Amino acid sequence: MSKSAAKRLIPSLPTLPDLPGATRRQQYSSSTKRALVEAASELFTEHGYAATSLDSIVAAAQVTKGALYHHYSGKQAVFEAVFERIETEAAASIAKAVKGVKDPWRKASAGLRAFLDVVQDPTYRRVVIQEGPAVLGYERFREQEERSSFAIVLEVVNNVLSAGPWELDQPMIDTFSRIFFGALSSAGEGVAASDDPEAASARVEAAIGFMLMGLRSLVDQGIEFVDPVTGNSSALAE
């Protein structure tokens, strides 16, 4: 038998409303990639990474494994593409929420609400929170997060801490940010898993808000913070 025909699987080529400035080849290419990422995104969300076969992905995307392997180096690369898309969207959503808010405390509050919204998205929960670390490995997972959602948390926390009379160095600010980030992730998961997300979300806001109040109280009292590493005890601002 011959290797038989290798005709395009979708003869009725769908609308290619991609980038108008690109050639037909590039349009085909990017539309195929989009179809793959979208299909993979759904399947990963529903069944998880391990339980999603490449065959099912390419079937849902109306292409074949050859196409997939032409664009991506393998299954993990597809996952990574999905991950990056979700993370980018999430970061943009949160960034939008905090944009323009001047008061650091209100900014933190706005960011918190946006974060709690994001974490309700099933795809985000599954792909980023649940399977991200295991599939990408902790290193790559960290890198990705550091570039997107964590960066925003860092900025917000930085703003809040700068409101205090302290001079904190970068490692210390990072530490605070990590703590808040972890708190938010965990709390967000709790919210998403709750049978009454509304109430749970309100509780989280209240709890975090209360802790922020605590920090603020220390600020107002002019309590000094002693860096355990540098030994710098940041005194009051003049």
Partner DNA sequence: CGATTTCACGTACCGGCGGTACGTACTAAG
Partner DNA sequence: CTTAGTACGTACCGCCGGTACGTGAAATCG
Residues that bind a copy of itself (CB under 8 A): 48-50, 125, 129-131, 133-135, 137-138, 142, 171-172, 174-176, 178-187, 189-190, 193, 199-200, 202-208, 210-211, 213-218, 221, 223, 225-229
> 175 to each of 34, 129, 171, 178, how far by Cα in Å?
37, 20, 6, 5
| C-beta closer to DNA: residue 5 or 229 | 5
154 binding partner (options DNA, a copy of itself, none; Cβ < 5 to 8 Å by kind): none
Nearest to 64 by CA among 127, 142, 7, 125: 7
Please state the closest distance from residue 20 (CB atom) to a copy of itself, in A. Answer: 40
| C-beta closer to a copy of itself: residue 40 or 61 | 40
Give the binding site for DNA (CB under 7 A): 1-10, 23-26, 28-29, 32, 52-55, 63-67, 69-71, 74-76
43 neighbors 68 (Cβ within 8 angstroms): no
176 binding partner (options a copy of itself, DNA, none; Cβ < 5 to 8 Å by kind): a copy of itself
| C-beta closer to DNA: residue 75 or 125 | 75
